[in-house]
Amino acid sequence: MDCGTPPIPMDVRTATQTLLSVRNLKTYFPQDEGTVKAVDGVTFDLYPGATLGIVGESGCGKSVTARSILRIVDRPGRIVDGEIHFRRPTTNGGAGQTVDLTKLEPNGPEMRAIRGAEIALIFQEPMSSFSPVHSVGNQIIEAILLHQQVSRRDARDKTIEMLQRVGVSSPEARVDQLASQLSGGLRQRAMIAMALSCHPTLLIADEPTTALDVTTQTQILELMRQLQREDGMAIMLITHDLGVVAEMATDVAVMYLGRVVEQAPVDAIFHAPQHPYTRALLRSIPRMRARSRARLTPIVGAVPHPYDRPSGCPFHPRCADFMAGTCDRRAPSLRPVGDQHTVSCFLYE
């Protein structure tokens, strides 16, 4: 690791050990028409207590990366290469042993002990993320009972307590309601309650606010930040919304077509983006302090079809700095360009 200490606030600043370290992860979906390389060499690091924003257009492999980490990739997809090092907490909360999640049996007892308890997931559609025929409480209690040695009654109490913490009003009543009886914002709160019910060290939030209206979105993000302050877990925040990233993340990894093209602290990404894709991405969103009448520039072209990925650097057909003979021949690799700043581009090789 050549990244050094990340600029993370408070006590975690000294923790040089990564919580999650993904190396060259490849998750492919073999299909009749060809193999979809949804994740094709993803590399990034996540530190305890930090928030890593994973940014990219739809279909760039963000969600598959998240599912790969949890080992719940849908068939026929499977991890074909790479490592996912995850540092398991010890019982007293200290940093414990590191395991390579790719080496574990997806449905084996060890992976299942990690899933839900140490790494939790919340995702986009709070409506369909709950079973429509089981009460919200039932589904949270189930998670608690699974990972903690408590009685059913205690689990229920904990659930109510958790719902209270995430700001669900009258949790004693809500606990027995179906997801369809809750509003979108409440559902996402309940979802967060479920995810955090076992005090995970890593929370993967896959577009947690995309389906919500702007006001609710802000509330949920604020809630996540507050809970992170209290519990100290790391968050891997997957989003296509750069605004959310700017607000939440300490670090950012930019993904394009199954690869991380740039990873850097959030300030570096917004103020000194290096990869042409990151730059293009930033130019495509409106900014508060932009010169008046400055035009937004959309990124030329569309994300290529997953079956025919461009050769070489996957971004070269849309790249402004395309260098014929280089970018379309070889694939660049992630290289450090500054303090904890890595870029995968031939401009910097």
Least distance to another protein, CB of residue 278, Å: 11
Of 17 and 181, nearer to another protein (C-beta) is 181
Least distance to another protein, CB of residue 260, Å: 21
Residue type at 328? D
Of 13 and 154, nearer to another protein (C-beta) is 154
Of 40 and 43, nearer to another protein (C-beta) is 40
Pick from 214, 228, 310: which is nearest to 8 by CA?
A: 228
Of 22 and 140, nearer to another protein (C-beta) is 140
| DSSP letter (8 states) at residue 305 | P
Tokens representing residue 115 in the block:
């899933």
Least distance to another protein, CB of residue 15, Å: 26
CA distance 221 to 36: 33
Least distance to another protein, CB of residue 13, Å: 28
Number of H helices, E strands in the chain: 10, 12
Of 285 and 320, nearer to another protein (C-beta) is 320
Least distance to another protein, CB of residue 167, Å: 20
Do 267 and 282 contact (CB within 8 A), yes or no? no
Distances (CA, A) of 141 to 113, 152, 179: 16, 8, 15
**10 Å Cβ neighbour count for 181?**
13
Least distance to another protein, CB of residue 146, Å: 6
Least distance to another protein, CB of residue 230, Å: 22
Alpha helices in the chain (DSSP H): 62-70, 109-114, 136-147, 152-165, 171-174, 184-196, 214-231, 242-248, 266-271, 276-283
Pick from 192, 200, 202, 195: which is nearest to 44 by CA?
A: 202
Least distance to another protein, CB of residue 341, Å: 14
Of 26 and 115, nearer to another protein (C-beta) is 115
Of 13 and 279, nearer to another protein (C-beta) is 279
CA distance 4 to 340: 6
Strands 234-239 and 51-55: parallel
CA distance 284 to 4: 31
Of 259 and 318, nearer to another protein (C-beta) is 318
Of 191 and 248, nearer to another protein (C-beta) is 191
Q: How many residues does the chain have?
A: 349
End-to-end CA distance of the chain: 18
CA distance 331 to 344: 9
Residue type at 327? C
Positions touching another protein (CB under 8 A) are 67, 70, 72, 74, 107, 111-117, 120-121, 123-125, 128-134, 139, 142-143, 146-147, 178, 180-181, 191, 194, 271-273, 276, 279-280, 283, 297-302, 304-305, 308, 316-322, 328
Least distance to another protein, CB of residue 320, Å: 5
Write the burial class of residue 85 (CB in 10 Å: 0-12 exposed, 13-18 middle, 19+ buried): middle
